[in-house]
Every structure is written in C-alpha cells, then in structure tokens.
Chain A
Amino acid sequence: MAPISPELLDLQASLEGYARDFGLDFFEVRYEMLDYRMMNQVAAYDGFPTRYRHWRFGMEHERLSKSYAYGLHRIYEMVINNDPCYAYLLASNNLVDQKLVMAHVCGHSDFFKNNLWFAHTNRRMLDEMANHAARLRRHVERYGQDRVEEFIDACLSVDNLIDIHAAGVRRRPLPAPEAESESRRTVRKMPAKDYMDSYINPPAFLAEQKRQLEEAEKQHRRLPEEPERDVLLFLLERAPLENWQRDVLDIVREEAYYFGPQRQTKIMNEGWASFGHTHIMTERALKPEELIDYADHHSGTVAIHPGRLNPYKLGLELYRDIEGRWNRGAFGPEYEACENLEARRQWDRKLGLGRQKIFEVRRIYNDVGFIDEFLTEDFAREHRLFAFDYNEVTGEYEIAGREFDEIKRRLLFQLTNFGQPIVDVVDGNYENRGELYLVHRHEGVDLDLPFAEDTLRNLYTLWGRPVHLETVVEDEGKVLFSHGPDGGARRPVS
C-alpha cells in the first residue's frame, strides 16, 4: 500500500474541483495505490484490510486471483463508505483510467454522504472493523479457532435475516418503564362529573376498554409483541448465548447492517458515480488525446451482457432519462394521460428541473423505489429490456418476453429484500416451551428446502431449543419444518 504520486494528487485536486462545480458534495477522499495482488486481497475483505480472520475471505481471494490470473476481470478501484472516504487505485492503471476512476469515486463518496439509506451507517467503519478483528482475536485465543469459527459460520448462515428496510439498526422503541406498564392494567375512565359518568363512560364503553386492555396485555406477554423481522436482534436479546457468542453475533449483525445499504442501492450508486464521471470527464477533465482511451474504458463499464443487467448501465441511463424528463416537464398527470406517442415525444415545457430532480432522487431513494418510480414503459422499450426464463428442456435461459409489467414485477421482486425470502420471528415461546417459531412470508416462490433445513439446524445451534419454520411448499400447502435435539422434521400445517 502506498500513497499516490504528487502528479495524481494534483489530478485529484483538479478533479474534485470539477466535481464540486458539478454539485457533488462528498466526504474527503484518501487514495491508496495498490498493486493487483494487494487489490485482490483488499477486495476479498470487502475493502477492509484489517478485517477479522475467516476462511470465506480466503475463498473470495482465490476466486479473484484466479480470474485475474486468467485475465477475466480486473478491479480498477474500490471505495469504502467511511469518513474520510478511502479509495484504492490499481497501480497498473494508465493515467486516463486513474482520472476516470477518481471522477467515479467522487460520485460514490457523494452518494455515501447524501443518500438517506446510508445515514445510519457507521462512518468510522474502518476503525470499527479493526475493533471487530481484535475482539474476535481475543475470543479465538480464549476459546480456540475451531469453536469460534464454527459459531461464526452459524451466524453467517442467518446474516440475511435482518430488517433491511428499517433505516436504522434499531426499529423497536426502548422498553417502557415499569410505572407505565402498571397503569395500563386498569381501565381509565374519561374524565366526567359524577352525574354525567354513566353517560360519558357507559358500561359498554368500559367493557370495550377492558377487552382492549386484556388484548394488549396478552400481546404484551407474547414474545415478540409484533412479528420481528430482525431475527438477529431477537436472537441477540433472547437466545441463551455465552457472552463471547453474543459478541460474535453482534459483530456479524453490525457488519450485515453496514453492508446492507450498498446492496440496496447498487444500481443507484453505480449509476450515480457513472453519471458523475461522464459529466466531469467529458465536460471538464478530458484532454483530446485521452478521448479514445476514455471511451474504451467507459464503454467497457457500461457494456451489456445478455442475461444480466449491468447496474452501471441501467442506473446511468435512468438518471439520464429522469433528467431529460424533468427538463422537458414530461411527468405528472397531464403527461401520463397523453396517449399520442408523437406528442409525448415532442413534449417540452422547458422546465429545466432535471438536474435538481436527480440530485433529489439520489438523496431519497433506494433501488426498489428508484425502479418502481422511474422505470417507465418508454424506457424499457427504448433500452430493450426483456424478461428471461429458464428452459428445463434445453437447460438454457431464454428470452421470455418484453411485456413491461412483467419486467418491472420481476425487477422489483429481485430487489425487494435483496431477492431474499422474508422471514419473521412470530413466537419466541412457541407452545409455551421456549421454542422459536419463524414464518416465511411466501410470495409465490418456494424456498430451497434442503438449504432451509440446514439453516434451521444452524438456528437451533444459536437458539438452543427447537426451532420451527412455517413456509409454503407448492403442491403441499403450508408446511412446518422443525429442528430439535432429534434432528429435522417436517409436517403439514392444518
């Protein structure tokens, strides 16, 4: 790892000047120069060289180095959501690449700083990761690598069971003080003079109040009171874990929440950074002789591969589309109601609101909202989007159609909860036996059942008492999977 050359530092200063002129507002960026070996290593740790020891980082590293060795990919840069923002540059990039990458990084840094979904992330994560590593090292020294690693594996197996759409780490209010819960036990009458009492507080009203109170009381005793999506938090608070185990779980959960927003805003974030770099480069920074190298690199970044969406491309084009529409005023009920294609195309109210709008968009949306709100039928047609399916007979993916509703439905499904099934804790004391009861909110697609059973086994390790998962299996209806001391079991739910 090395600081960047004075030449690049000058470049950074001028590029950041252009970026500010463009309107970007970013964390201070600190660059480090890495050779490809270090880059692959840092990338394996998701950008945190000080991360804790775990075999899966080694796995990621093997994959990255192999595909690098055979020339299948290279990582030009990495940016860390931190204040100051750290970014790594690949030493073998040529100067134009570095320029482009630095312009791109300004976009990411701006996005980290301003996008609402990142508001709760820890901006000292570089330090925090080092702390995590130190805490885990201590546990390993005391309890042995195998034991700690096994527990980490169990935690990682459920680390997608977090409440990702909560903007903060904690959604639940702090437990109410005891005094208040006392007062909840008695029916409170409406204030009234004695002679008016039977009118203002008729027996029916009182009975209704009492019933509601009892209901609340029952609910209060249920655990959790409301279905809990943050399964990790529930385990953290309720599972009979040893202190070191609780600490490990806490670390895994914190990192899952830290990385959550990056997965939630992949399209927006990459699109925004690409939008930024195209403007900065083509309007300000590029020298004539650099044009072809720039175009070569940029077109590689936004290239389309059949069968998968390139988030750089999709995001960039959506921002452009939004900017264009808001410049022309091509939005709102009047525009939506217009059925004349030619009129729609020619639509221009000369509002010039485009730039303002996309800055607003980058602040308040995540990918789900971004697609839901701004992916229009016109856009899908213009950009040749299609839905594809797996053909069992040929074993290949095939284009299934270009119907807009279907495309949008699928995209939203993929993005909602990262394309992960939604699972809630509904009871932590199932059948009054201290067993854990989870419900999978089935939305038409079944779980991978063998994997689900193994995940349950890991949950059993964490919870210590039998665990149950209610889900729906096509052709069978509701099914309850359980795992306890005697192993796994399944039975239909009536």
Chain B
Amino acid sequence: MTLPIEQDASRFRQIVRGKIKQNLRKYISNSELIGRRGKDLVSIPIPEIELPHFRFGEPRGGVGQGEGEVGSSLGPARPGDGSGPAGDQPGFHILEVELTLEELAELLGEELELPRIKPKGKRNVQGEVVRYTGVRHVGPESLRYFKRTYREALKRQLASGTYDPDRPAIVPIRDDKRYRSWKAYPRPESNAVILYMMDVSGSMTQRKKELVRLTAFWIDTWLRAHYKNIATRYIVHDATAHEVDATTFYHLRESGGTRISSAYDLCHQIIQKDYPADEWNLYAFHFSDGENYGGEDDRRCLNLLQKNILPQVNLFCYGQVRSAPGHQFMDTLGRLNDEKLATAEINDDDEIYVAIKAFLGKGL
C-alpha cells in the first residue's frame, strides 16, 4: 500500500530537484545534519522550502535558560533557529550522527538518484552478514550485555529497597539479564576491483588532485555498498605508467609530458594478469586534465579502449579536471560510442556531484 504521504513527498522531491514549479526553487534552504564517517564529516542535507511571508529580518536574539556568564557562547547560529515562539519543536536539535557505510551510500544514492548496480559474474549469490544491534531477555552468557543488565538490576534494587548507597553491590537476578541479539543483513557475494588512473604530469596541480580524491571517495562509497570485496589498484602516469599505493597516488608529482596510452596499456595488463573479467566486476576510472602528447597517442588510446579494455570492464569513466583550453582528450573519447563509457568534466566542488551522477547513473 502506498501511503498518501508518499504522493506529497514525491511531489516535494520533484520541486527540490527542479522538475516542477521552478518558481519555488529560490526558497529552498538546506538545513543539515552533520554525518560522520570515520574522520570525514559529511553533511546530510534536509531541504526545506519556506514560502515567503512577512517576517522579521536578521537573526534575532532571544531568551534562554541555564548557566553561563555574560558573553559566553551558545554555539554557532544555525539557519532556521531563532524564529518563532520559544522552542517550537522540543527535542529537535542538530547533532552529529555517526554513519555506517551503508547509510552513507544510501544517502548518496538518494541524493543523486543512482540506480543500484547489478553485479555480473557467476558468484552473484546474496549471502548474509550478522550484526549485533538488538537486546533481548534470553541468550548465551557470552553475549551478556553488561551495561543493560547492570541498569536493570540497579532499577530493581532501588525499587525494592535493597540498594544500599554505602555498599553499592548490584546482584543481577535472572529477570535483569539482557543479552545482545543479532540480525542478519543480506550481503552481496560478488567481487569488484576499482582501477584508478591519474595523470601526474606537471600540469596536474594539488587542487586538481584534491578534486580527484573527493570524487574517488564517493565512488568508493557507492561501489563498496554493492560488493563484498573491493580491491583497489592505482596507476599514475606521465609519459610512462607505474602502479603505486594510494598515498603515492594522491601525492606524487612528476614533471614532463603525458602519454595516456601508457596508463591504458598497464591497466589492460593488470586486468589480464589478476582479474579475469568473468569472475570480477571491473571499474576503471581515469582522471586527467585533458592534455595528451598528440594525435598519435590519442589514436592508440582509442584502440586500446575499444579492443582491450571496454569489452572487459563494467564501466570505464573518464573525468577531466580543470582542463586548459585547447585540444582535449575528452573530445577524442567523444568519438567512441559505447554505453560502458562515461565522461565528465570536474572544474569545481559542485561538479563532483554531476560527475558522479554521470559515472554511476548508468547502474552498471
């Protein structure tokens, strides 16, 4: 059964995405939750549309309650605060929330409307993974939940008057005991490998590499949610190509010219050697600023792609980062017409979303 709210919610989402009622777009504000994934902070947008009405301008002060000296801070101003009568929504305040990988990927998928990937390969059986998320009254002692058991026992002893603050001994009885319980989540069984290639020639600045790193973070997040095991390999190239580790990948800086074909060649060799295409889901991403050595090398690249790489991989994506005007490798790739090939330009943080949508929006 679809709930009636679904119609309203989907209409709202359409407005937010700019599909209908363009005139309301300017009233969209994003209050946000702050998500935390390891050390990375991710903002979870909660779009809101506030229809215009007569209201007071500028963030106003107000009245609060609690300790503190004059001048002590109450924290940063947040959009949406400070208006309306005191505490319109008790209990609703912004906090940092810890995100699991799955939640983060779900957010990304929702935000960019990415289709779920259907893995290829024979080992496409869904397995299960067990996670301890619940609490129950019975279970093996090895799963006893100490804190909850203690709390129950404390409550009981307080209530029955057997708690002595001078000798605070807590003795749990059977009814107090709590045990962790688990839930099984489906877990994809197929494996994938991501091959990142990047141009490290003199023209690739630190800023360009930062854009690549951010893009790769989201690509990783999305793909990891769809595969059991993900292997990641990194290739850097200028006129020649080398395989490196992740740290080197993002920090190495070479000078000299660019021959993209060298990287594609190495990519092809790695696939040949380690990842037979019928067992692995292969994802190749290449980032460069679009300068290549010349027309000869462009032709070599197209040839390699068409003959060796595209038939093997699930997806090949090319991201062109802050390209200089002039001849661009992206134009060359434009000549190829293959549904496994996706290209995008990334000139700014905002365009990362566009690029990810272009890359992963195919659901391959």
Contacts and interface: CB of A to CB of B under 8 A. Distances in A.
B86 A410 contact: no
B188 to A, nearest CB: 22
A349 interface: no
B68 A293 contact: no
B86 A399 contact: no
B331 interface: no
Given A388-B64, A419-B85, A312 B90 contact: yes
Interface stretch (B41-49, B252-260, B285-293): B41-49
A301 B55 CA distance: 30
B85 A410 contact: no
Nearest to B48: A59
Pick from B5, B20, B35, B160 the residue with the most CB of A within 10 Å. Answer: B5
- Which residue, of A157, A306, A415, has the highest number of chain B Cβ atoms within 10 A? A306
Interface string B1-39: 001110111111101000011001000000001010000
B84 interface: yes
A388 B56 contact: no
Contacts of B247: none
Interface in A149-181: 149-150, 153, 156-161
| Most chain B CB within a 10 A radius of its CB, from A62, A291, A397 | A397
A44 B85 CA distance: 19
A289 B341 CA distance: 65
Interface string A292-325: 1100000011001111111111100000000000
A380 to B, nearest CB: 9
A396 B81 CA distance: 12
Interface string B235-268: 0000000000000000000000000000000000
B76 interface: yes
B65 A383 contact: yes
A267 B15 CA distance: 35
Contact of B60 (A53, A62, A390): A390
B61 A56 contact: no
Interface string A406-445: 0100110011001111010000000000000000100001
Nearest to A455: B52
A445 B56 contact: yes
Given A451-B54, A454-B52, A390 B159 contact: no
A164 to B, nearest CB: 12
Interface stretch (A63-71, A276-284, A333-341): A63-71
A397 B66 contact: no
A102 B322 CA distance: 62
A349 B62 CA distance: 36
B91 to A, nearest CB: 5
B77 to A, nearest CB: 6
Nearest to B151: A292
Interface residues of A, number: 97
B65 A389 contact: no
A308 B5 contact: no
Given A309-B64, A313-B65, A63 B51 contact: no
A388 B62 contact: yes
B133 interface: no
B70 A419 contact: no
Contacts of A300: 91
A267 B86 CA distance: 8
B53 A386 contact: no
A160 B55 CA distance: 9
A191 interface: no
A55 B75 CA distance: 32
Contacts of A266: 85-88
Nearest to A386: B64
Nearest to B59: A390
B48 A63 contact: yes
A411 B87 CA distance: 12
B71 A398 contact: yes
Contacts of B81: 307-308
Given A367-B85, A448-B57, A455-B53, A386 B65 contact: yes
Interface stretch (B92-100, B141-149, B178-186, B343-351): B92-100
A56 B160 contact: no
B316 to A, nearest CB: 35
Contacts of B56: 419, 421, 445-448
Contacts of B64: 306-309, 385-388, 399
A157 B51 contact: yes
A385 B63 contact: yes
A243 interface: no
A60 B76 CA distance: 24
A58 B72 contact: no
B361 interface: no
B155 interface: yes
Interface centre among A38, A70, A307 (most CB of B within 10 A): A307
B337 interface: no
A388 B158 CA distance: 41
A482 interface: no
B82 interface: yes
B72 A398 contact: yes
B187 interface: no
Contact of A400 (B4, B70, B94): B70
A57 interface: yes
Contacts of A367: 85
B62 A414 contact: yes
Contacts of B155: 289, 292-293
Contact of A386 (B52, B63, B88, B97): B63
Nearest to B61: A389
Contacts of A159: 53
A62 B72 CA distance: 35
Nearest to B107: A66
Among A55, A290, A367, A423, chain B packs the most CB atoms within 10 A around the CB of A55
B89 to A, nearest CB: 8
Contacts of B160: 288-289
A402 interface: yes
A356 B197 CA distance: 79
A475 to B, nearest CB: 13
Contacts of B91: 73-74, 300
B53 A397 contact: no
A291 B74 contact: no
Interface string A32-68: 0000011001001100010001111111011100110
Given A397-B77, A415-B86, 7 more contacts: A63-B46, A66-B33, A305-B87, A311-B85, A388-B62, A397-B82, A414-B63
7 pairs of A and B residues whose beta carbons are closest in the complex: A58-B8, A58-B9, A58-B12, A454-B52, A309-B86, A448-B57, A389-B61
Interface of B: 3-5, 7-13, 15, 20-21, 24, 33, 35, 44, 46-49, 51-77, 81-95, 97, 154-156, 158-160
16 contacts: A53-B7, A58-B11, A63-B46, A70-B44, A73-B91, A307-B64, A308-B62, A310-B65, A386-B68, A402-B70, A418-B84, A419-B84, A446-B56, A449-B57, A451-B52, A451-B57
